[in-house]
Amino acid sequence: MNDDAPPTFTLDGEDVPFEPGETIIAAARRAGFYVPHLCWHPDFPPHGSCRICTVRVDGRAAAACTTKAAAGQEVENRTEELDAHRKTMLQMLFVEGNHFCPSCEKSGNCVLQATAYEMGMEGPHFEEFYPNRPVDASHPDILLDFNRCILCELCVRASRDVDHKNVFAIGGHGIGSHLVVNAPSGKLGDTAMALGDRAADVCPVGVILTKRRGFVIPIGERRFDRHPISAEVGDEDAR
Ligand code: SF4
């Protein structure tokens, strides 16, 4: 046995080396394995809210984004059972908001849509909520379409921790949780948000959109139109 060899765990039977302190999802990704996720992003600390990355670690369900890798762990990831749970969670997300993919500027570049395709989701299954969420077009360069928010908090984290502007927050509780803009008017146009901010390009779905750039790349020729999200390991979070 080579004492210098990194410790490993198995992911769906394949050996995955890891560095001490590394999470399962980070090690898996580095080794070229796709663990489905929405709220996790390599540039930000784990958030652990979407639960799409739930795997089985030695038989017990655990979030791959917050669970540290350990030597000898047996991790199940892309099993029929886990992907079926993921599909159900995605279907719940789809009906909770208003996700009309054919008319969405993010279609083909959307991590939610691409993950749903990856899980074999063909329809919403549950009854749609059709919430009333008006768009915010008050900013000169950025449009906010709240209808598509999946509450991943990436924009909250990016604006707070990278841009140091605190433009976004999550308000309400439970089913009433929603994205809010931190301005007395509640309007993005009354904040310091700028097009070059990290928060402006981190949204995995079609909420935070740059104005006057819509459909520059036609639908059908976009990232996830060309290949499934699982084929982009290491790059699937490049929004
Ligand atoms: S606006 Fe986008 S980045 Fe922000 S919480 Fe909603 S889905 Fe996540």
pLDDT at 219 > cutoff 90: no
| Whole-number Å distance between alpha carbons of 167 and 173 | 19
Average of per-residue pLDDT across 113-131:
96
Residue nearest to atom 8 of ligand 1 (CA): 152
Query: Can 8-78 and 103-228 be said to share one CATH topology?
Result: no
pLDDT at 1 > cutoff 70: no
Predicted local distance difference test score (pLDDT) of residue 17: 98
CATH class of the domain at 103-228: alpha beta
The answer, yes or no, to whether any atom of ligand 1 lies below 6 A from the CB of 208, is yes
Cβ(208)–Cβ(214) below 8 Å: no
Predicted local distance difference test score (pLDDT) of residue 239: 56
Residue nearest to atom 2 of ligand 1 (CA): 203
Sequence-distant (6+) residues with CB within 8 A of 165 are: 159, 191, 192, 193, 197, 199
The residue that leads in pLDDT, 127 or 238, is 127
Q: What is the mean pLDDT of the chain?
A: 95
Question: Where are the chain's structural domains?
Answer: 8-78, 103-228
Tokens of 177: 């949780």
pLDDT digit string (tens) for 35-59? 999 999 999 999 999 999 999 999 9
CA distances for 41 relative to 197, 217, 234, angstroms: 16, 24, 11
Long-range CB contact pairs, 173-179, < 8 A, 24+: 175/96, 177/151, 178/133, 178/146, 178/149, 178/151, 179/146, 179/149, 179/151, 179/155, 179/207
- Out of 3.30.70.260, 3.40.50.740, 3.10.20.740, 2.40.50.100, the CATH code matching 8-78 is 3.10.20.740
**Number of residues assigned to the chain:** 239
pLDDT digit string (tens) for 154-197? 999 999 999 999 999 999 998 899 999 999 999 999 999 999 99
Cα of 22 from ligand 1 centre, angstroms: 25
Tokens of 20: 């001490």
Nearest to residue 178, comparing CAs of 199, 207, 149?
Answer: 149
Element spanning 88, H or E: helix 80-96
The residue that leads in pLDDT, 129 or 219, is 129
Average of per-residue pLDDT across 25-35:
97
Q: Has this prediction a pTM greater than 0.85?
A: yes
Average of per-residue pLDDT across 73-96:
98
Nearest to residue 69, comparing CAs of 119, 31, 111?
Answer: 31
For a mutational test of ligand 1's pocket, the pick from 44, 145, 149, 163, i.e. the residue with the most ligand atoms closer than 8 A to its C-beta, is: 149
The sign one gets for the Cα dihedral 188, 165, 173, 202 is positive
Average of per-residue pLDDT across 90-111:
95
Cα of 149 from ligand 1 centre, angstroms: 5
Cα of 112 from ligand 1 centre, angstroms: 11
